[in-house]
Amino acid sequence: MARIETVTSRIIHQIWGNGNPNKAVLAALRNTNDVLNKKATVVWPLLLDALAKNDLSKTGRPTSAERAVFAALHCYAVYQQGNQASCGYADKGHGGKPLFKALAELRKDPTTRAAIDRRVQNVLGNTNPGSVINAVGHLTSILKSRSSQEVINFAQLGQDFYYLQFSNESAREVSLKWGQQYYWQSGKQVAEKGE
């Protein structure tokens, strides 16, 4: 796993606490998507202890790593709300699904397809990291409200958030990756081969 992905995974496991979740941290994460928000202070001990020294801010302005991990944790907390029975997170090796692949399942419902597609298009067409992170948080809420049975790889989402902050080109690469996860359907390929 990449560095930011590993840190995000470690923090999620600490928050989950083997089935005894840290409710104060989850509540703080749900109530803000900004690491500088006063409510985020509760999260700082886990976040700042887990990051490498060179990933920490030296000026008080959040680093790309701090923003990325915090944003992924926010999405995890939103998705985890009300679920005490199981952890809604797993990495790829343990069945965790990329967020946009899980969102693709919502496209199967013709009554919600156009609305979901519009929101995803907004994310995929944007290169402003703050706007993208905020919009992905809203998409996570939508996924939670429609289908909270999926186990999502929020650590990979953190790595993606980190990478999209490097440049417009890296943001477009992340968008392409998410677009592939969202739009490509394996059943379509099988049907085309059978024709």
pLDDT tens column, 104-151: 999 988 998 999 999 999 999 999 999 999 999 999 999 998 876 789
Q: Which range (40-49, 87-96, 99-108) has the least confidence?
A: 87-96
pLDDT at 191 over 60: no
pLDDT at 193 over 50: no
Residue 57 is given by DSSP the state: -
pTM of the model: 0.91
* Amino acid 73: pLDDT: 97
Strands (E), the chain: none
Q: How many domains, the chain?
A: 1
Average of per-residue pLDDT across 38-43: 96
pLDDT tens column, 56-94: 999 999 999 999 999 999 999 999 988 776 778 887 777
Beta bridge partners of 152: 89, 97
Rounded CA gap, 172 and 156, in Å?
A: 17
- Cα–Cα distances (Å) from 181 to 26, 46, 124, 171, in that order, read 27, 30, 12, 15
Cβ atoms within 10 Å of 40's Cβ, excluding its own: 21
Cβ atoms within 10 Å of 55's Cβ, excluding its own: 18
Rounded CA gap, 119 and 156, in Å?
A: 21
Rounded CA gap, 40 and 8, in Å?
A: 16
CATH number of the domain residue 87 falls in: 1.10.520.40
Q: Which structural domain range is residue 26 located in?
A: 3-194
